[in-house]
């Protein structure tokens, strides 16, 4: 157990990731209710849909764990060559152990999906299928390595698929069909995925590692930072469009103002002084955006309405 605790600390911090995934899952379920008949449903229930949120959270948490495990298999050769300090190359855990863990959590996911309904099982199969394609780099690994934008966009698709799955934990049993307007939430999730991927792969020049592909190394510090800031503006627009579907534009806009200010400050300071402190700011700012936006468009409004 000590080995696994060290592994999660280094490669999949359960508390750090758990908070973001919990908010994501809760927002997806709550947004689905708000789209359908938000206020009336929430007041009738008198509480948040805890059961659906719990199923969505557990399923998504395990999906993100599987994505991490898939990366361990996909990147093993490069890690052994360039990053021998990582858990798998240095022998802390083995790929066989990680494979067994991935299968075990898949059984849990399948059991939860069956408990909700057959449509959720089909969506789970869709998510698994796309994850397998990602793990194989869509069978065009060499081509993707030369096309960073295509790599970024193709891998970001998993986020709206997970968002759809999380919302389905609610609408499968409620109506059997996705509510109208859900596409804006899926678009928001896609753009947030782009921001997360960009934010965690921007480094100061002195912190770049041989064999580690970052967007700051591929595009240069300035282009990578501006790309991230551009995506944050797109996230803001998508958040407003998603909020408009549930009549929450004003409070969402108020939240976005300080978040946009933070994004611009981080970009400005990093470009003025590209060091480790400000490069970390991209990841921190993206995390705050993820929490803030998902809370604003889903969790908080339904919680407020559920309390009358």
CA atoms within 13 A on the CB side of 226: 6
Say how far apart CA 105 and CA 63 lie, in whole Å. Answer: 9
Work out the end-to-end distance of the chain between its first and last CA atoms, rounded to an integer number of angstroms: 45
Share of the chain above pLDDT 70, in %: 94
Give the residue from 207, 204, 220, 215 showing the smallest Cα distance to 269.
Answer: 204
Counting every residue written for the chain, the total comes to: 308
| DSSP classification of residue 202 | -
Do 193 and 158 form a contact (C-beta atoms < 8 A)? yes
Radius of gyration of the chain from Cα atoms? 20
Task: Give this prediction's pTM.
Answer: 0.93
Say how far apart CA 224 and CA 235 lie, in whole Å. Answer: 17
Helices (H), 157-273: 158-174, 182-199, 215-219, 221-244, 249-272
Angle at 202 between CA 282 and CA 13, to 5 degrees: 65
Say how far apart CA 175 and CA 21 lie, in whole Å. Answer: 25
CA atoms within 13 A on the CB side of 51: 9
Say how far apart CA 245 and CA 30 lie, in whole Å. Answer: 13
Helices (H), 12-49: 14-45
pLDDT of residue 210: 80
| Assigned token pair, 67 | 């994505």
Q: pLDDT tens digits, residue range 52-111?
A: 999 999 999 999 999 999 999 998 988 898 889 999 999 999 999 999 999 999 999 999
Say how far apart CA 192 and CA 62 lie, in whole Å. Answer: 19
Do 204 and 274 form a contact (C-beta atoms < 8 A)? yes
**Which class for 181: exposed (0-12), middle (13-18), buried (19 or more C-beta within 10 A)?**
middle
pLDDT of residue 209: 84
Count of Cβ atoms closer than 10 Å to residue 148 Cβ: 15
Mean of pLDDT over the chain:
91
Do 244 and 181 form a contact (C-beta atoms < 8 A)? no
Q: pLDDT tens digits, residue range 13-22?
A: 999 999 999 9
pLDDT at 307 over 90: no
pLDDT of residue 246: 87
Which residues, 6 or more positions from 225, have their beta carbon under 8 angstroms from its beta carbon? 202, 216, 267, 270, 271, 282
Say how far apart CA 135 and CA 71 lie, in whole Å. Answer: 7
Say how far apart CA 80 and CA 86 lie, in whole Å. Answer: 8
Q: pLDDT tens digits, residue range 273-305?
A: 999 999 999 999 999 999 999 999 988 888 776
Q: pLDDT tens digits, residue range 234-277?
A: 999 999 999 999 888 988 999 999 999 999 999 999 999 999 99
Do 45 and 170 form a contact (C-beta atoms < 8 A)? no
């Amino acid at each position: 157990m000590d080995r696994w605790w060290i592994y999660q600390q280094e490669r999949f911090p359960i508390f750090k990731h758990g908070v973001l995934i919990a908010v994501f899952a809760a927002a997806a379920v709550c947004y689905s209710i708000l789209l359908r008949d938000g206020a009336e449903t929430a007041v009738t229930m008198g509480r948040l849909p805890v059961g659906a949120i719990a199923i969505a959270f557990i399923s998504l948490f395990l999906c993100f764990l599987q994505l991490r495990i898939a990366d361990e298999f996909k990147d093993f050769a490069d890690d052994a060559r360039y990053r021998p300090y990582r858990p798998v190359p240095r022998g802390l855990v083995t790929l066989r152990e990680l494979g067994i863990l991935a299968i075990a959590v898949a059984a849990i996911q399948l059991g939860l999906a069956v408990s909700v309904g057959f449509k959720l099982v089909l969506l789970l199969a869709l998510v698994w299928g796309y994850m397998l394609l990602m793990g194989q780099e869509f069978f065009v690994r060499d081509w993707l390595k030369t096309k960073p934008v295509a790599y970024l966009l193709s891998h970001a698709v998993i986020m709206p698929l997970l968002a759809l799955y999380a919302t389905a934990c609610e609408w499968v049993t409620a109506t059997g069909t996705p509510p109208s307007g859900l596409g804006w939430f899926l678009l928001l999730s896609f753009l947030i995925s782009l921001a997360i991927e960009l934010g965690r792969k921007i480094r100061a020049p002195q912190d770049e590692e041989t064999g580690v592909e970052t967007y700051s190394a591929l595009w240069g510090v300035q282009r990578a930072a501006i790309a991230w800031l551009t995506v944050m503006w797109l996230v803001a627009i998508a958040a407003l469009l998603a909020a408009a579907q549930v009549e929450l534009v004003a409070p969402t806009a108020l939240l976005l103002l300080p978040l946009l200010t933070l994004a611009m400050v981080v970009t400005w300071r990093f470009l003025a002084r590209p060091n480790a402190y400000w490069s970390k700011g991209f990841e921190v700012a993206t995390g705050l955006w993820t929490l803030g936006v998902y809370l604003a468009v889903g969790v908080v409004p339904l919680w407020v309405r559920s309390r009358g």
